Amino acid sequence: MNESKKMIFFDIDGTLLDHDKNIPPSTKASIKELKANGHEVAIATGRSPFLFKDLLEELEIDSYVSMNGQYVVYKGEVIYTHPIPSEVLQSLTAFAVRSDQPILYVSEEHMRMNVAKHIRVDSSYGPLKIEMPEYDPHYYMNREIYQAIVFCTEQEQVLYEQEYKDILRFVRWDEFATDVLPLGGSKAAGIEHLINHLGINRKKVVAFGDHYNDLEMLQFVGHGVAMGNAQPEVKEVAKYITSDVDQDGIMRGLMQLNLISSAGMSAV
């Protein structure tokens, strides 16, 4: 990579997508200019690839770190995967069932629930404006699952953390939902695998994010940027803070880093 060029990772919800789940026009124009300037652009998200295919097509991006670092693709080629062991999923499922809490299994192609319907699932997924997961309690069997989601409160999560402290990590993203990853899994770990694959120094890497699953990522890269709408803890670890996603946060952050020009944005 040219010395002046950077690799930039963008979170999706609350970063690329505004509060209405749309891409702001200034964000789209900014990413187009980034690529025109020779920079590498990628996505780093908690979502599974099937949930952001349209976004990849609209922004013409073909590299991403998905499912919080468990499934990494560079220019359409899978370069790293880190599934949760099946025996761990079986144990986690039994624990969730005993606790009367729904669990969702996520592969690169689908996500399925172990219950047909639940108010906590509706509460967590409704605002995301995506299709609700289908019912298939055996989906995790004989299939690689890269992430699970347990629908529990923060207090209930403590019991899971105690039970699986040496096996899994739990990253909360909603009042009733927490991501479940293999121990050591994170967006930062996924980015590290990708940039090592490309021979890029992390000092030349930029990342934008807003939520708890972005903490390690913003600390790991050379230039971590928190959105104006980011959680306070995220802003604390970021090197830079830009404006709200609804206030041209991506554009303003990239201009702050001198990765795009104000002249190039004048037509937005």
Please enumerate in sequence order all residues whose Cβ is within 8 A of that of 66, keeping only pairs 6 or more positions apart, or say none. 43, 45, 46, 47, 48, 49, 52, 72, 73, 108, 190
Within 10 A of 208 (CB to CB), how many other CB atoms are there? 31
Query: Do residues 223 and 230 touch, judged by C-beta distance below 8 A?
Result: no
What are the structure tokens assigned to 43, written together? 């996505």
| Catalytic-role residue among 11, 13, 210, 214 | 11
DSSP H stretches of helix in the chain: 25-36, 53-59, 86-98, 119-125, 154-163, 187-198, 215-220, 232-237, 249-256
Q: Is residue 248 flagged as an active site residue?
A: no
Q: In this structure, are strands 111-113 and 103-106 parallel, antiparallel, or unpaired?
A: antiparallel
Question: For residue 225, what is the DSSP state?
Answer: E
In whole angstroms, give the CA distance from residue 254 to residue 234. Answer: 18
Q: Catalytic positions, please?
A: 11
